[in-house]
Structure formats: structure tokens, C-alpha cells
């Protein structure tokens, strides 16, 4: 399936879903450039969703991707990962590991914060290792 980005006029804003998709694309690109292997994207189960599951140097990494198109009143992307979200990602990761039979691997929880400009172009990618 080919996705086309709609023309963004000077007053139109990116939707939350568009920002999320662009942020995840930027995060995957950054990870691949740094020799991470993407195992799964948007892995879901009853307890929640994990944005990216990757492997690097024999470790399985569960990544929460947060993107923003300006800090404004909501703060930075990484500040939006609250305790509830951390618990949900941990619970979902546990299900993933059980279902894949990967219970003997070292694991890590990272956050990738992506800043976008108003047009949806990546301004910065900040990879926070061992974020929680």
C-alpha cells in the first residue's frame, strides 16, 4: 500500500496520526542507520501497543516513539511518557516476550523523541537509552 501525503497548506496542521506515522518513520530510519534491526512495528496485544521492537548487540529493545511539531504548552516529546505509559509498555513487552519465547534475552526500554517542523519534516531525533 502506497501512502501519499496530502498537500499541507500554510494554515493546515498535521493530524496526531500523521505526526505519529512520520515520527515512527524517522525513528526507524535513525535506528537502521545505527545498526539496529527492526523486528516489529506497532505490535499489539490486549495490554497495549509497542511502537517498535528492535534488536541491537544481542539485546531486545522496546521503543516508545513520541513526536511533536513544537514544544508549545505540552513540553518535549519525551516528557509525555508518563508512569502509566511506562507500565503499559512493560506489560505489553512481557506478553511479547512470552509469545515469542524470548524470555532469556536481555531487554531494554528506550524512548525516541522526534521533533517535526510544521510541514512534517524531521528536525531532530533524540534516542533516550534505558529511558525507564
pLDDT tens for each residue of 75-114: 666 777 889 999 999 999 999 999 999 888 899 999 999 9
* Rg, the chain, Cα only: 15
Q: What's the pLDDT at 61?
A: 98
**For residues 50 and 43, what is the distance between their CA atoms, to the nearest angstrom?**
5
Q: What is the pTM of this model?
A: 0.84
The correct CATH number of 16-128 out of 3.40.1350.10, 3.90.1150.10, 3.40.50.970, 3.50.50.60 is: 3.40.1350.10
End-to-end CA distance of the chain: 35
Instruction: Kindly state the percentage of the chain with pLDDT values over 70.
Output: 85
Distance from C-alpha of 124 to C-alpha of 77, rounded to nearest angstrom: 11
| Residue 10 scores a pLDDT above 60 | no
91 versus 6: the higher-pLDDT residue is 91
Helix, strand, coil percentages in the chain from 3-state DSSP, rounded to 5: 30, 35, 35
* CA 98/CA 24 separation, integer angstroms: 25
Mean pLDDT for the chain?
87
Per-residue pLDDT at 70 exceeds 70: no
Angle at alpha carbon of residue 7, lines to 5 and 13, rounded to 5°: 90
pLDDT of residue 19: 87
Amino acid at each position: 500500500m502506497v501512502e501519499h501525503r496530502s498537500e499541507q497548506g500554510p494554515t493546515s496542521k498535521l493530524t496526531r496520526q500523521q505526526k505519529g506515522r512520520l515520527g515512527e518513520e524517522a525513528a526507524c530510519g535513525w535506528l537502521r542507520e545505527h545498526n539496529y534491526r527492526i523486528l516489529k512495528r506497532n505490535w499489539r496485544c490486549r495490554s497495549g501497543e509497542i511502537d517498535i521492537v528492535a534488536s541491537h548487540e544481542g539485546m531486545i529493545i522496546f521503543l516508545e516513539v513520541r513526536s511533536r511539531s513544537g514544544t508549545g504548552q505540552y513540553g518535549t516529546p519525551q516528557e509525555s511518557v508518563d508512569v502509566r505509559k511506562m507500565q503499559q509498555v512493560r506489560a505489553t513487552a512481557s506478553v511479547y516476550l512470552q509469545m515469542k519465547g524470548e524470555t532469556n534475552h536481555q531487554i531494554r526500554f528506550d524512548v525516541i523523541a522526534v521533533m517535526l517542523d510544521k510541514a512534517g519534516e524531521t528536525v531532530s531525533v533524540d534516542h533516550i537509552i534505558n529511558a525507564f
